[in-house]
Amino acid sequence: MARSHYDFTRDADLLEAYSGSAPRVAPKILNIHPARSVVDVGCNIGVWLRAFLDHGVERVLGIDGDYVDMAKLLVDPALFLRRDLNQAVGDIGRFDLAISLEVGEHLKPGRAKGFVGDLCQLADVVLYGAAVPFQGGELHVNEQWQSYWAQLFADNGYVAYDVLRRAIWAQPNVAYWYKQNAIFYVKAGSAAHGRFRTRYGEPSDTMFDVVHPELFRGKVWRLKNGNFVDRLINRFRTSGGEGRGEMLSRHLHGDDHWRAPRRDDLATHR
């Protein structure tokens, strides 16, 4: 069975990034769409489920594979359903909100269409995000641009509301992959669509494919500082009249909290 997420038992930094992001982002999600029931497809140990429960969601369900360590689950095991996400999820009922964050890139490319279809069967509102090309990470077999997924949702009659990313783009202590990839998809003609339209107007179909500065700078940092040869060459290279090293540390508006990766592989570990 393919993993849809990482083994948090082997990576404390990664667990910190996930578990630290969820409680900060969950209230913003609920401010946009005040769901009372949430299903997380690819939930791992349930960091998002825990965050939604802590912020007042009445009913949650997590779905993931048999590799999840049940002893580390952050919610009652009765709220967890085992499924191979490379196979159809099946009929498990309807929810106010379905989420699947940084999961789709782990599934077989041929599963993408069916996976999006499964999410659409679960809720009229789906919050979805998956790794973009060259984002990098363990067992990433289907990295795609955000517009690729937007088209699959459109094929199911769902319109994209890119309203969460701008709300969290510059928020410290939120993992960049959420800030970069998480987009709402809403069933056209549904009651939820009416609420989104009233609040946000008609959705835009542009500017899907973006890369967050934290990913970009992490990649550049590794390229420019990864080994002795790179560091030596950079001493003699300039950009905009500055040395490349100085350019890497230049202040970027809205990105004050960025820091160089703590390990060489951190920038490509997601």
CATH code at 15? 3.40.50.150
The answer to whether residue 266 scores a pLDDT higher than 50 is: no
pLDDT digits (tens, 9 = 90+) for 92-103: 999 999 999 999
Identify which of 253, 143, 163, 174 has the alpha carbon closest to the alpha carbon of residue 208: 163
| Residue 59 neighbours by CB under 8 Å, 6+ apart | 36, 37, 38, 95
Position 219 scores a pLDDT of 76
In a domain, 205, yes or no: no
In a domain, 150, yes or no: yes
Domain count along the chain? 2
Find the mean pLDDT for residues 235-251: 63
One domain, residues 217 and 242: yes
d(CA 237, CA 241): 9
Residue 232's domain spans which residues? 213-268
Position 267 scores a pLDDT of 40
In a domain, 207, yes or no: no
One domain, residues 262 and 179: no
Q: Please report which confidence band the pLDDT of residue 250 belongs to, taking 50, 70 and 90 as the band edges.
A: low
One domain, residues 128 and 249: no
In a domain, 1, yes or no: no
Position 269 scores a pLDDT of 43
pTM value surpassing 0.85: no
In a domain, 30, yes or no: yes
One domain, residues 73 and 20: yes
The answer to whether residue 257 scores a pLDDT higher than 70 is: no
One domain, residues 232 and 107: no
Position 134 scores a pLDDT of 85
In a domain, 76, yes or no: yes
One domain, residues 257 and 135: no
One domain, residues 116 and 238: no
The answer to whether residue 30 scores a pLDDT higher than 90 is: yes
The percentage of residues in the chain with a pLDDT greater than 70, rounded to a whole number, is 76
